[in-house]
Amino acid sequence: MEGIVATGHYHAQYVPNFSGLAEWRTQWPKNVIHSKEYRDPDMFKDKNVLLIGNGTSALDIARDIHKHAKTIYNSVRESTHQFDEKYLKLREELAKFLPKKVQRVAHVKEFKEHQTKKDIQDAVVELIDGTKITDLDYVIICTGYLFSFHFLEDLHDDEEVGPKRKFNVDQEHVLVKDGSQVFNLHKDIFYIPNPTLSFVGIPFHIATFSLFEFQSYAVARVYSGAAKLPEEKAMRAEWYERAHRKGLGREFHALGSELELTYIKDIVQWLNEDGKALKKPTITEHDEEWINIRNNSLAALKKSLNITD
């Protein structure tokens, strides 16, 4: 098995297991959609819309439809991620980008169908604080995506792909279980049992393409013989230490402002140390100018959009 996987992780939709949501999606498939299916703001003209989620998709769609929709609700939950202070501050600032028309509401508890009427407008969404929302025309599920590499089905251990496998995959070879994270990758790049298979683009909550560039450096240096990977036992020990420190699940790949720089520093030091003997060009980390631009980018965006505190 050889190859570089750079397919991203915005393909397999993640849909929360809210009580009644599956029934709503079956009953009104054109009215209850995932953000991946969103295309045209005009279809929401004079409609009541519920956006579920607190990420970029919900924010972008809210800004796109607010001049068309009649009412927009945004259901959010408290984050359980343990990000650094700078990233948490960024999340707070992003909430200011929501149009004034958007009403922030509590997390969803249950989707209920009307006992006799069949229109979605007669159905009820109950929130955890007891609030009930009715007269909805659309629900857009903005809850992100699952990790899925369907073309590597023998390394999956989930209900959708698992039955297609030719053999059972053990814990030290599995890539994907429930889709919340990817297993058995050294530095989120190299497949530990067989490092000739590598991945670029697994981490998130980062400056995406600049970080992926550093991952690409690592792949190029290793595959050209200019950098060496540790023995499998050492790579696995490092992976387990990280799992113990961060915990398993989606947060495993989440970095944030400070951890992103730490991750890059670790890769750069390794590649430069191994490349010195071969007189390979020195790879540099992000400089102060880059960091300052990143830190001030939100303020610049707010200014360009005339958003005030």
| Residues of the chain by 3-state class (helix, strand, coil), percent to 5 | 40, 15, 45
| pLDDT at residue number 295 | 85
| pLDDT at residue number 306 | 77
What's the whole-model pTM score? 0.88
Q: What is the DSSP letter of 174?
A: -
Helix residue ranges per DSSP H, the chain: 21-27, 56-65, 85-94, 208-223, 232-246, 257-276, 288-304
| pLDDT at residue number 167 | 53
Distance CA 233, CA 152 (A): 23
What structural domains does the chain harbor? 3-8+147-297 (3.50.50.60), 17-142 (3.50.50.60)
Cβ atoms of 86 and 257 closer than 8 Å:
yes
Tokens describing residue 285: 């980390």
Distant-in-sequence contacts of 48-51, Cβ < 8 A, 24+ apart: 48/72, 48/73, 48/135, 48/136, 48/137, 48/138, 49/73, 49/136, 49/137, 49/138, 49/139, 49/140, 50/74, 50/75, 50/125, 50/133, 50/136, 50/138, 50/139, 50/140, 51/75, 51/102, 51/140, 51/142
Distant-in-sequence contacts of 8-13, Cβ < 8 A, 24+ apart: 8/201, 9/145, 9/146, 9/147, 9/148, 9/201, 9/202, 9/204, 10/36, 10/145, 11/145, 11/148, 12/145, 12/146, 12/147, 12/148, 12/179, 13/141, 13/145, 13/146
Distance CA 164, CA 153 (A): 7
The whole-angstrom distance between residue 305's C-alpha and the CA centroid of its chain comes to 25
Cβ atoms of 184 and 193 closer than 8 Å:
yes
Cβ atoms of 163 and 31 closer than 8 Å:
no
pLDDT tens track, the chain, 309 positions: 679 999 988 889 999 999 999 999 999 999 999 999 999 999 999 999 999 998 889 999 999 999 999 999 999 987 666 665 666 676 677 778 899 999 999 999 999 998 888 999 999 999 999 999 999 999 999 999 999 998 898 898 876 554 555 556 788 999 999 999 999 999 999 999 999 999 999 999 899 999 999 999 999 999 999 999 999 999 999 999 999 999 999 889 999 888 999 999 999 999 999 999 999 999 999 999 999 998 888 788 778 877 776
Distance CA 180, CA 250 (A): 5
| pLDDT at residue number 8 | 87
Q: How many other C-beta atoms are found inside a 10 Å radius of the C-beta of residue 94? A: 16
Cβ atoms of 218 and 271 closer than 8 Å:
yes
Tokens describing residue 193: 């049992």
Tokens describing residue 13: 């939709």
| pLDDT at residue number 160 | 56
The whole-angstrom distance between residue 161's C-alpha and the CA centroid of its chain comes to 20
